[in-house]
Structure 1
Amino acid sequence: VINTQRAELEALRKKESKYKKAQEKVSTNKLLKDEIEHLETELKTFEDKDVEIGSLKLQTEKLSRANKALMNDIKNEQKRYDFLESKYKELLVKYNIAAKDLEKKQ
């Protein structure tokens, strides 16, 4: 009787050991799943940051091109202003000469 109970006890211990191993696997799997979810979340965050950095680079390039275009426009407007100012001075001199000639004739 004792021998059979010992054999049954040993069999139960083996079953218990198997269940413990299975339980450890389940908890390990749960931990691994949690770790995988955490890593996926972190990866998504990095991808979002990468997309954000890409869009910032694109926006910076657009702003740089717009700045160059505006600087070009400023140069063109400065040339135009200088040209108009020189024309105005020429016409003012001609007007003053014509006005003086008219005064002399009168």
Structure 2
Amino acid sequence: MDIHEYQAKELLSRYQIHVPRGGLAYSPEQAAYRASEIGGDRWVVKAQIHSGARGKAGGIKLCSSDHEIVEAADAMLGRRLVTHQTGPQGKLVSRLYVEEAMDIGREIYLGFV
């Protein structure tokens, strides 16, 4: 079963595992609204596709204003994100996850089989 990042974070939250606050968006305007709901002054806009290396392909953007959020969301939504895992055809971005930006002390990746 493949699940998106936002779905994995919802599952982790159910078990009281801390994850950054975030929300799903289907339009640039909704992405900016999600950021206003979250609060703060920095957010991360993330393309939700089944693939790793999204950041290297332009599918993860750090934003510090509504304008940057709308710009990042507009650049991702409706386009194909190509990574080394998607192949040359890429994967269509139809939803975004907007979450509070956090200083990264350590980054880990989890997989469950």
Q: TM-score, normalised by structure 1?
A: 0.16
Higher relative contact order (CA 8 A, sep 6+): 2
The higher radius of gyration belongs to: 1
Q: Higher helix share goes to which structure?
A: 1
